[in-house]
Homo-oligomer: A and B are copies of this chain.
Amino acid sequence: MEKVNIAEKFEKFSDHWNPRIVGELNGQQVKLARLKGEFIWHSHEDEDEMFYIVKGTLKIEFRDRMVELKENEFFIVPRGVEHRPIAEQEVQVMLFEPASTQHTGKEKHELTNNRQERL
């Protein structure tokens, strides 16, 4: 039972596409990540995933459209929906997703990281 200061947690890491776990509740995890560049197309079969923008502008590409998210906006990607996050400049995001969520769904890629660190 400790409070979490988002800015302090972000100061503890600088790499991209490597979410850190900063909270757990009801089988869900709260994660912080720095994103920069283009991620890979993927989906999560059984998990809805929430992207909350802490800093910067994130685009999320879907097969039929693109969404642009700015600070203090969020988007929930429903389970099964293919998506690809794109960060032209560095973005700080907070993620909410079930603890079971695989980083890149069924896709395997050099960016895939399913051993995420607790901060």
Per-residue B-contact encoding for A70-112, CB less than 8 Å = 1, 0 else = 0011111110010000000000000011100000000000000
Oligomeric state, in copies: 2
- A-side interface residues, number (CB < 8 Å): 33
Cα of A25 to Cα of B98 in the assembled complex, Å: 9
B28 near A67 with CB under 8 A, answer: no
A72 near B6 with CB under 8 A, answer: yes
Q: Is A47 an interface residue (CB 8 A)?
A: yes
Known: A4-B75, A26-B48. 12 other contacts (CB 8 A): A2-B75, A3-B67, A3-B73, A3-B74, A3-B75, A4-B73, A4-B74, A5-B72, A25-B96, A26-B47, A26-B97, A28-B96
